[in-house]
Chain A
Amino acid sequence: GAVVSQHPSWVICKSGTSVKIECRSLDFQATTMFWYRQFPKQSLMLMATSNEGSKATYEQGVEKDKFLINHASLTLSTLTVTSAHPEDSSFYICSASSDRQSKQYFGPGTRLTVT
């Protein structure tokens, strides 16, 4: 099956700093990538959808200036959490699909802890 990687696997940062998370599709071209956030024992909540070369579409309630998403190529999308605060601590998971309405392949996730 298709492989999606995320880097880093975990990160601890201080409040007020920015953190960048990378999501790569290793063996296919991802026209669409999705970013989710998951709090402990909760479901995955979609944050935004990004298509290569265009601006991301954010879900209601997600601050686009705080969670910057860039989908510069068909194999790479990045999520930057700017001015992170402890309440941003969560498990961030990306997924990728090769075309719309097809199954999504998930990355292994990045655990962010803001102290």
Chain B
Amino acid sequence: QQPVQSPQAVILREGEDAVINCSSSKALYSVHWYRQKHGEAPVFLMILLKGGEQKGHDKISASFNEKKQQSSLYLTASQLSYSGTYFCGTEEFYNTDKLIFGTGTRLQVFP
């Protein structure tokens, strides 16, 4: 069963913040975050490997709560280039050979 992301869609003005959540029904080993622009392949953003881990790059950061089997992606001071569909990819604790992608969150940033 694929992880559920919320919200399904977000509309922002440049400079606003957003949070995207990814929730799994399975125990997780890691969470990967990707952004996909229309008609293109997903682009890797970051991996979270340890429960409680938080990491970030520029104004995009993420956290991983392994007890709650969920992860959140934080987009701060959004830019037009942040527009796209965000997917979390989860590695289950007892099945770490593959990623199961979440339902996706479509983000649109307007000037």
Contact = CB atoms under 8 A, between A and B. Distances in A.
Which residue among B34, B41, B97 has the maximum number of chain A CB atoms within 10 Å of its CB? B41
B40 A104 contact: no
B103 A105 contact: no
Given A100-B97, A103-B47, A108 B41 contact: yes
B27 to A, nearest CB: 15
Interface residues of A, number: 22
Nearest to B44: A103
B67 interface: no
Contacts, number: 51
A1 B43 CA distance: 11
Contacts of A34: 98-99
A44 interface: yes
Interface string B45-61: 00100000000000000
Interface of A: 1, 32, 34, 36, 42-46, 49, 57, 93, 100-101, 103-109, 111
